[in-house]
Structure 1
Amino acid sequence: MVKEVTLVTGGSGLVGKGIEKILETDSLPDEEWIFLSSKDANLLSESETEAVFEKYRPTRVLHLAAQVGGLFANMKANCDFLRNNMKMNDNILAMSHKYNVKKVVSCLSTCIFPDKTTYPIDETMLHNGPPHDSNFGYSYAKRMIDVINRGYYEQYGCQFTSVIPCNVFGPHDNFNIQQGHVIPGLMHKAYKAQQDGTAFQIWGTGAPLRQFIYSLDLARLFIWVLREYQEIEPIILATEEEISIKDVAFKILEAFEFKGGVEFLTDKADGQFKKTASNTKLRKYLPEFKFTPIDVAIKETVEWFKANHETCRK
């Protein structure tokens, strides 16, 4: 039996761990999965990236690795986010072409869409205007994956595609308050406030709206895209539900059974108010897919964080 060898970059991160979990019950006999971490190779290095491809000879690649961070991390280092992600993405796609990888699925994000736009956003609107100033470096680097995918397809016939998830959270997330995304950052702050007996602080007004997807749901969808999705154009992977940062914060506090005070630091930036993404294309393919309710997903993530507080990324 000839096996499909799938190389997962960023395999020790949030989504990679989610895929690993789903494969415990959804693996196929003709599939071999290799989950890379930063310890295996520095993907900013062309030579180290090539060494990985030479070693494993993958037939498919899930490209999850990236330099990522929350609002304030992006605002402080847009140049680094641009340059490092561009280098990494180019190395992965160049080696995928050189080693005749049959399919590559790269991970983008809804935060890279134009700041000034109409809603809901869909896949055709990705390049219609500049992204929000707060994360322009990350956004342009990720947008270029879609551009270069098209280039590889038109010039060489490569099946390189991408997915655009909304805000992902779940077990194995980065719970760093300064550098992590909103839900894991709020969870860590809630944990610290509960331990210290202090007020829980929400940066900004809490008014911005976001769509969130549980990492295990996204993992199931990633596996489907790898196995079944045939388009080069990207596909948005998002829930229908929008929820404010304030409401998310209070769901987190409920999961922690937090009894202390709550403060809104309204002198802090809110970032983009909304970025509603349409999942019409996804529903065309998977009309019956059921997303985990956000209350359940938050509760499961809080329980994982408490159980793994000493060793998780924070």
Structure 2
Amino acid sequence: MTTHSKIYIAGHRGMVGSAVWRALTAEGYTNIMGRTSKELDLRNQQHVLDFINTERPDIIIDAAARVGGILANSLSPYPFLMENLQIQNNLIDAAHKAETAKFVFLGSSCIYPKFAPQPLKEEHLLTDSLEPTNQWYAIAKIAGVKACEAIREQYGKDFVSLMPTNLYGPNDNFDLETSHVLPAMMRKFHESKSSGEPVKLWGSGTPMREFLHVDDLAQGVLFAVKNKLPDYLYNVGTGTDVTIKTLAETIQNTVGHKGVIEWDTTKPDGTPRKLMDSSKLRSLGWAPAFDLESGIKHTYDWFISHQDNYKAISLS
């Protein structure tokens, strides 16, 4: 692959896709392409086949997905399962049929069992039951991982899956009904500074979570683009985790909020702990650059400059 190789980023306007685009551009890649959902419906198999056959990208990076937090998954289980299956399967199959040289599939740490040993290793996949609150999304992503593995095993193609831990950063979703925990907290603390209302957070605050700045994931994708990785599945994380309570306090301090936090213990906590072992990818040369405090500060600065344009996801 060269800096002139044709690269298609599916989901190029999302948090992950836009971060990958920035990373590739900064590295000197000049032939990057994307399509909006209006220009190309990734759920439509024939449209995807026609597009890939016409454009013939050398590399496809699948950063497209229907995503959301616990509430969104609970309210819309069928779309979270079916639409993600459609998007990834159409892209993977079209890439295979068009003889695309490299395919990078992006998933999530939720593919691993709820009570898998900590830290989560790649070999823990499919060893136990999933976390019920996001199982629909997880099952779809597992199917994508296994599809890429099957193509790699049967045809020897360079199809690789990267599974990031909880992501945050510029272009995140800050809609309170559909966002994940970190951006939802950031918006709540920011708005509470003006309103004076208590910040109400779900659960007990005791679960442990790991958070990765999206620009660090983008560097992992860039690493996979520039190198032929020897295995089919790699975790991408920081290797450290914090309690949700510590996360809340870190965001509170960054935002400059001085008010009250109320924990609603009637709401679910989710998985007790979810720390990833990313040593396999680290051993090849990738490493994250952001610690949690600097990453949250970077994200909040972006949020302040874009707060009139919260990204929302429809639940219909």
Q: What range is the shorter-chain TM-score in?
A: over 0.9
User: 1:22·1:216 contact (CA, 8 Å) conserved in 2?
Assistant: yes
Q: CA deviation at 1:125?
A: 1.2
2:90 equivalent to 1:91: yes
Q: CA deviation at 1:51?
A: 3.3
Q: Who is 1:299 aligned against?
A: 297
User: 1:16·1:64 contact (CA, 8 Å) conserved in 2?
Assistant: yes
Q: Distance in 2 between the 1:137 and 1:308 partners?
A: 31
Q: Who is 1:129 aligned against?
A: 128
Q: CA deviation at 1:232?
A: 4.3
Q: CA deviation at 1:27?
A: 1.9
Q: Distance in 2 between the 1:243 and 1:12 partners?
A: 29
Q: Distance in 2 between the 1:119 and 1:171 partners?
A: 29
Q: Distance in 2 between the 1:39 and 1:214 partners?
A: 28
Q: Who is 1:250 aligned against?
A: 249
Q: Distance in 1 between the 2:153 and 2:268 partners?
A: 42
Q: Distance in 1 between the 2:28 and 2:220 partners?
A: 14
Other structure's SS at 2:300 match: helix
Matches within 5 A, 1:14-93: 14-28=15-29, 31-93=30-92
2:236 equivalent to 1:227: no
Structure 1 residues 39 and 231 mapped into 2: Cα distance closer, same or farther (>3 Å)?
A: farther
User: 1:16·1:35 contact (CA, 8 Å) conserved in 2?
Assistant: no
Q: Deviations over 1:134-168 (max 9, x none)?
A: 11111111011121112222333322110010001
Moved over 6 A (4+): none
Q: Distance in 2 between the 1:266 and 1:308 partners?
A: 32
| Structure 1: runs of 5 or more not aligned | none
Q: Distance in 2 between the 1:16 and 1:108 partners?
A: 13
Other structure's SS at 2:258 match: coil
Q: Deviations over 1:181-229 (max 9, x none)?
A: 1111111111222232211111111111111100111111111012114
Q: Distance in 1 between the 2:247 and 2:51 partners?
A: 40
Q: Who is 2:6 aligned against?
A: 5
Q: How many residues align?
A: 311
Q: Who is 1:114 aligned against?
A: 113
Q: Structure 2: which amino acid aligns with 1:162?
A: S
Aligned CA RMSD, in angstroms, stands at 1.7
Q: Structure 2: which amino acid aligns with 1:104?
A: F
Q: Structure 2: which amino acid aligns with 1:11?
A: H
Q: Deviations over 1:247-306 (max 9, x none)?
A: 11111111111122211111111111112211110221127x342111111011111111
Q: Who is 2:176 aligned against?
A: 177
| Structure 2: runs of 5 or more not aligned | none
Q: CA deviation at 1:116?
A: 2.5
Q: Structure 2: which amino acid aligns with 1:6?
A: I
Q: Who is 1:215 aligned against?
A: 214
Q: CA deviation at 1:32?
A: 1.3
Q: CA deviation at 1:90?
A: 0.9
Structure 1 residues 213 and 229 mapped into 2: Cα distance closer, same or farther (>3 Å)?
A: farther
Normalising to structure 2: TM-score of the pair?
Answer: 0.93
2:180 equivalent to 1:159: no
